[in-house]
Structure 1
Amino acid sequence: MQIKAHNTNAEQVQLSKLVPLDSPQAILDEALAIVDLISPGFKTTRLASTFSRAESLYQGTFPGYQACNTEYHDFNHVCGVFLATARLLHGAGLENNSFSDRQIVLALISALLHDSGYIQETHDTEGTGSKYTANHVQRSMDFLSCHGESFGFSEKDITDSNAIMLCTDLSFDISTIAFSSERVELLGKILGSADLLAQMADRTYLEKLLFLYYEFKEAGFGDYQSELDLLRKATGFYKSISQRLEKTLDATNRFMLSHFNSRWKIKADLYHEAIVRQMDYLKDILKKQDTDPRFYLKRDGIVDKVRSKYQEEDSYEEAAGLNLAQDNPN
């Protein structure tokens, strides 16, 4: 597989410009190219096939399951986590962490299926997959336990993959997971990091937080009173996630530096830079006293889609002016 090398630097390129993140095929191609860097000659047929089956699961053509109906935890998010996992594996390999082909497959298939718990079975016609927010990781593990053999997994593979996926559960104490080896533990922490990095570095992350509010609302999850309340609390979430990346997940996000330097000749972690830009922008728009911050979230028409679908009573006009200024902690 021919690898394209880009001679550039972080000031000239943003994460979203390297690979079109709205193209599943482009993401798959890049991930497989990275895998070839990690393990030259790696047979990619199985990964490509699993990617296609995961896509069918989200599209509603996987037998026994409905199409995905969660707009934050959708297939675009899965693709982002899949690519971020491949990048972290590559960076880790460059820092003397070798992976067998089996371990590469374990990590990447776990990435593809880590949110399958949001998908409803065909007989489940009440509400949306959002209602499973609190237990979606366990449901994802159950999905793999049920269908793992059809993905070419042995019983040991299923056990290891479930342990890896459990690292994406923010409420679970990772130190209590019985990993089969230190390498599988590393894979779990890589996936846990990839899950966080992919969503927070997404160029439409701030817009998609409005969709996340409605997922949480249906599930009765968290203490969020409105879209605006979730936006205001997102900066605090970023601080807690930074600590999780650094401590709980052993700073495995550091492997991005080695990946971008080797793959793109960029001496920077573009995920970190994208996340910092998002948070700086969010802080800026929250400081504006007499304007609804959602006016400044214009990417991909997402705010309009949210407004059209949910017609939140907390309208632009109602949230503007003195009421907004009084509620704004900044």
Structure 2
Amino acid sequence: MNSRHSQYDVTNTVKVTDSQAVCNAVCDIFHSCYLAADDSRIRQAFEDFDSLFEGHYNGFNACDTFYHDKQHTLDMTLALARLIDGHERQSDRVHTFGAKLTSLAIITALFHDSGYIRKTDDQKFYNGAQYTPIHVSRSATFLTNYLHMIGLPEFADIAANMVHYTGYEVSPDQIKLPDEKLHLLGYMLGTADLIAQMSDRCYLEKCKERLFPEFELGGMTSTQDKDGKSIIIFESADDLLAKTPTFYNSEVKNRLNNLFQQVYKYAEAHFGDDNLYIKYLNKNISHIESLIETNKLDTLHRLPPENPGTSRFLNSH
């Protein structure tokens, strides 16, 4: 655990830059929950996810965003599977999600950021990050079409609503789903999205080098007041880093503990001990607080795994 690698998950055992490795880990968890269940839809979804992000999916370009890349989605999907596993271990038969809803949640996780990916005929924008303000709605549209395509039309509207737990376009208390089980899966989606990225070994470096440029492209570094006057939200990448502890202590903690009802605790039942996601998340927050206090933001030195989207963007411009 002391030599955790940047391309691996919080257990340092699953390479979250490798779709097949994550697919196998997720399917292992799936079968530990539902012994004889068919995992073919999950495996197909991983293949389709790979095709989409690599630029082999009909009608879509490859992923070209810097921060919201394949690693993030794979890490998040693995975290979701672990939360679901923790829940299933503690539930009686009446309250389990079951194989079908779990498959749906995993599919939703895999495509929760599909809205960043531009269509091949896109004449409006030159990078997916420019869709940041509406990327979740675009992901909902993709999921609707995808679930119809794979023969699960009855879940299309559910996934399209559930995916909004990963974003800010719709307030969590306004998301409409048929029953509490689906809301609970939604809380897990939103939670997995947060704890996976914030426990990433290179989270702080990625915020500085990758998230800030995305925010610039997406128009998220400033806003306007009611009089049309510009208000700066983040002056620079260092400013974004300096505001990360406040973001965590106000927004993220409220989501994890209140809006998402502390479902992150299910990770403890999965791991059987520490909640490794919260452990490494807290390490990252403590580290950035220390760097801010000592004015050493320029000492961040970890090298995140290569993101093909960055080179794709640079090559096209």
**2 CA distance for matches of 1:294 and 1:218?**
23
Q: Report the equivalent of 1:131.
A: 130
CA contact (8 A) 1:68 1:129 kept: yes
Tell me how many residue pairs correspond in the alignment: 290
Amino acid at match of 1:224: F
Structure (1 or 2) with the greater helix fraction: 1
Secondary structure, counterpart of 1:221 in structure 2 = coil
For the 8 Å contact 1:16–1:203, the answer to whether it is kept is no
Aligned-partner Cα distance in 2 for 1:56–1:79: 14
Tell me which residue corresponds to 1:200: 198
Take 1:212 and 1:31, find their aligned partners in 2: how far apart are those partners? 27
Query: Residue 199 of structure 1 contacts residue 205 of structure 1 at CA under 8 Å; is this kept in 2?
Result: yes
Matched, 1:248 2:259: yes
Establish whether residue 81 from structure 1 lines up as the match of residue 87 from structure 2: no
- The CA distance in 1 between the partners of 2:25 and 2:32, in whole Å, is 11
Whether the aligned pair in 2 keeps the contact of 1:50 and 1:151 (CA below 8 Å) is no
Partner of 2:286: 280
Question: Residue type of the partner of 2:213?
Answer: Y
Look up the match of 1:295: 299
Check 1:21–1:144 CA distance in 2 against 1; reply closer, same or farther (3 A cut): closer
Q: How does 1:1-330 map to 2 (within 5 A)?
A: 15-96=10-91, 97-125=95-123, 126-154=125-153, 156-210=154-208, 211-222=210-221, 223-239=233-249, 240-261=251-272, 267-289=273-295, 291=296, 293-300=297-304
**Could you tell which deviates more after superposition, 208-217 or 90-99?**
90-99
Deviations 1:189-234 (A, max 9, x none): 1101011111111111111102110111111114111110001011
User: For 1:90, what is the secondary structure of its paired residue?
Assistant: helix
Cα distance, 1:300–1:168 mapped onto 2, change above 3 Å: closer
> Which amino acid in 2 is paired with 1:83?
L
Task: Look up the equivalent residue of 2:128 and give its one-letter code.
Answer: G
Q: In the TM superposition, what is the alpha-carbon distance from 1:144 to its structure 2 partner? A: 1.7
Gaps of 5+ in 2: 222-232
Residues 147 and 301 of structure 1, relative CA distance in 2, 3 Å threshold: closer
Cα 1:102–1:208, aligned 2, differ >3 Å: closer, same or farther?
Answer: same
What is the one-letter code of the residue matched to 1:46?
R
TM-score, normalised relative to structure 1: 0.83
Deviation at 1:11, TM superposition (A): 8.6
Offset, 1:124: 1.3
> Structure 2: how far apart are the matches of 1:168 and 1:93?
22
Contact 1:58 1:67 in 2 (8 A): yes
1:221 partner amino acid: M
**TM-aligned CA deviation for residue 171 of structure 1:** 4.4
TM-score for the superposition, normalised by structure 2: 0.86
Query: Following the alignment from structure 1 to structure 2, what is the Cα–Cα distance between the partners of residues 107 and 19?
Result: 20
8 Å CA contact 1:167, 1:192 repeated in 2: yes
Deviation for aligned residue 1:16: 4.4
Post-superposition CA distance 1:12-53 (Å, at most 9, x none): 988241322222221111111000111111211111111110
**RMSD of equivalent CA atoms:** 2.2
Structure possessing the higher radius of gyration over alpha carbons: 1
Query: 4+ residue runs of structure 1 moved beyond 4 angstroms?
Result: 10-14
Q: Percent identity?
A: 29
User: 1:325 is matched with which residue?
Assistant: none
Q: Secondary structure at the residue paired with 2:215?
A: helix
Instruction: Provide the C-alpha distance between the structure 2 equivalents of 1:229 and 1:61, rounded to a whole number of angstroms.
Output: 37
Where do 5+ consecutive residues of structure 1 fail to align? 1-9, 262-266, 311-330
Contact 1:68/1:118 (CA < 8 Å) preserved in 2? yes
2:64·2:127 contact (CA, 8 Å) conserved in 1? yes
Which letter maps to 1:229? Answer: D
**1:295 is aligned with what amino acid?**
T
Give the AA of the match of 2:198. Answer: M
Residue type of the partner of 1:228? D
Counterpart residue identity of residue 151, structure 2 = G
Query: Residue type of the partner of 2:140?
Result: M
